[in-house]
Amino acid sequence: QVQVVQSGGGLVQPGGSLRLSCVASGETLRINVMSWYRQAPGKQRDLVAKISSSGSTTYGDSLKGRFTISGDNAMTTVYLQMNNLKPEDTAVYYCNADGWFGTNTKFGRWGQGAQVTVSS
């Protein structure tokens, strides 16, 4: 009953910028938290940023300042603006939606992932 669909990603040169988007949809959907994670080859999946329905944001891995998470008023669409990208940012980026749908049914669901490659 809940779908999480990502768009964006691709190849970018060091110092460049990229914008990812994530859209959650479902019946009577209510979002608690939308998050971005990333996973590099051979590494664990780590938090990049998250935003709550109140607008409060949290950043992981000392990324605040280069990366910015934002959402629309309904909080069903979120973005990750990535600036001054570095090769170490290369990873598959995943969106995660957490909240409720229907009659207060709790859910947590991952997007399909998007490859971000930072290379010259």
Task: For residue 72, count other CB atoms closer than 10 A to its CB.
Answer: 10
- List of residues 6+ apart from 89 with CB closer than 8 A: 38, 82, 116, 118
- Per the CB < 8 A criterion, the answer to whether 70 and 1 are in contact is no
Looking at residue 99, its pLDDT comes to: 96
Q: Tokens standing for 42?
A: 């051979």
Q: How does pLDDT run across 53-93, given as a tens digit for each residue? A: 999 999 997 788 999 999 998 899 999 999 999 999 999 99
DSSP 55: -
Looking at residue 63, its pLDDT comes to: 86
In 13-104, DSSP assigns E strands to 18-26, 30-39, 46-52, 57-59, 67-71, 77-82, 91-101
What would you report as the CA-atom Rg of the chain, rounded to the nearest whole angstrom? 14
What is the pLDDT averaged over residues 92-116? 97
Looking at residue 73, its pLDDT comes to: 84
